[in-house]
Amino acid sequence: MFPSFLACALCVAEIVLAQPSSNNDVIQTMYRQGVPHTSRQGEVRLTYDPNASFFPIGIWGAQVPGKQWDSEAYWTLLKEAGFNTVWPWFSALAQALDAAEEHDMQLVYMGAVKPEERVLLGSSTHLLGNVWHDEPIGKLGSVDMDALFAEFNTYRSEIHAVAPELPVFINDAPWIMAPATDWWLKWNAAARVACHDNYPIMNKKHRARSIGAEPNGIPQSVSLGVANGEEKRPQWLIVGAFEQPGEYDQSFAFRFPTPQQLRAQVYAGIIHGATGIIYFTWDTYIPRDGRVIGMAPNPKISYTPVPQQEGYTKPFPATPMQLAQSRALWEATTQINAELEALVPVLLAPTAAESLGLALAVEGEGVTENPIRVLAKPRGQQGYTLLTVNLDDAMLRGTFEFNRPIAEVNTRFENQMPLELPDGAREFSLSYEPFAVHVIELTFDAP
């Protein structure tokens, strides 16, 4: 998946709960009947069960454990960083399963499983899925797409003959605009699990900075997938934690997000319906061979194979600043992953009903029409959790208003004291730095 693609000076907008959600709604309303997700073995579920439900936190294209070329990969590093799922770079199925079982992680096998290896598909409790092809929408216009789709369906039927419940799916690019829209929707609906990548952080000639302003931004692509799946198909999102430097005239010069931007990508995806998060990518020789620098706790200047091997001869060295950014993103990912793990019961709970009576007023000059997005989840008898994100490179202020008195408000994962509220308060305000996330826990007075 080396990337191939990827209004006023001071305005106040009043937004209330609406049905249904769209990618432009501030307060998301999907999943009120249940959140589509999977078990650790890929069975699709709509009801959260702490003993059966699974929220994948994955790393794409990871090197299998051991030394390959001049890279040494230790999946214990992934476990320590909070990953629970690995998409290893194309390898033997038996080797990948052994590594997943040894490290107690779930495996998404990349590529078509060879006929002689398919007997292994039903033998491991650590197999989450099989991604057959990467970004088929990128082939639109250059291959017979009907034939490719038929090939996928034939392969999936063959795998389901051996492992009936195993998700066999594709990962797609976020090319959701014409002329690709119809085919994107068809691929998105082709399997029990839908997955796509979306990398909005890149160097551009214009100055607007947002993860939702483009027609194929994260809110747009995830919301489209949710609606396409009628809120019953798990939607997995691959976010960008990498750099692919480019020249002035290069259309897609991807750059490292800041830690704040990476966290915003993750929460923007979840707020708009993603029920699994995968990161692209871990820094080893594998991405460097594609002129991509990933994140790592200890990245190297280069991973040139020793000795040199045919086809693996591009060192693509990282600068000192790129190495610093790589380390910073790994540390940020470790924090984000810990948050996701703690929030799983919230993320997989049905979305709050309209009776919550939430309205939001936003002050500030944003890039997108509605820069702050919110997903509300019930928490106990009188409590709620609000997942909120600022999509834009803009300082904003959000005032949350409810139809009942608030007893207490906390911002989780921020090391802050509860907000001070006057007795009987029905609203509170928070400032949002560019790309900020606030996970808000509030409790209402008993009726």
Quick check: is 3 in a domain?
A: no
Within-domain flag for 30: no
Question: Are 95 and 113 found together in one domain?
Answer: yes
Phi/psi zone of residue 394: left (φ > 0), alpha (ψ -120 to 50 degrees), beta? beta
Instruction: Say if 26 falls within a structural domain.
Output: no
pLDDT score of 5: 32
Bond from prior residue into 258 cis (ω within 30 degrees of 0): no
130 plus 213 within the same structural domain: yes
- Pairing mode, strands 437-444 and 383-390: antiparallel
| pLDDT over 70 at 2, yes or no | no
CATH number for position 405 = 2.60.40
pTM for the full model?
Answer: 0.93
Q: Domain containing 261: what range?
A: 35-347
Q: What is the C-alpha R_g of the chain?
A: 22
Give the pLDDT confidence of 174-233 residue by residue, as tens digits. Answer: 999 999 999 999 999 999 999 999 999 988 766 668 999 999 999 999 999 999 999 999
242 and 383 inside one domain? no
Q: In the chain, pLDDT over 70 holds for what percent of residues?
A: 91
Domain assignment of residue 13, yes or no = no
Does 342 lie in the same domain as 321? yes
Does pLDDT of 379 surpass 50? Answer: yes
27 within domain boundaries: no
**Number of domain units in the chain:** 2
Q: Are 374 and 359 in contact (CB under 8 A)?
A: no
pLDDT tens-place string over residues 325-377: 999 999 999 999 999 999 999 999 999 999 999 999 999 999 998 999 999 99
Residue 104 sits in a domain whose CATH number is 3.20.20.80
Are both 320 and 393 inside the same structural domain? Answer: no
| Domain final residue pick, 327, 347, 367 | 347
Contact 192, 167 (CB under 8 A): yes
| Residue that is last in its domain, among 316, 347, 378 | 347
Q: What is the pLDDT of residue 20?
A: 44
How long is the chain?
A: 447
| Residue that terminates a domain, selected from 309, 325, 347 | 347
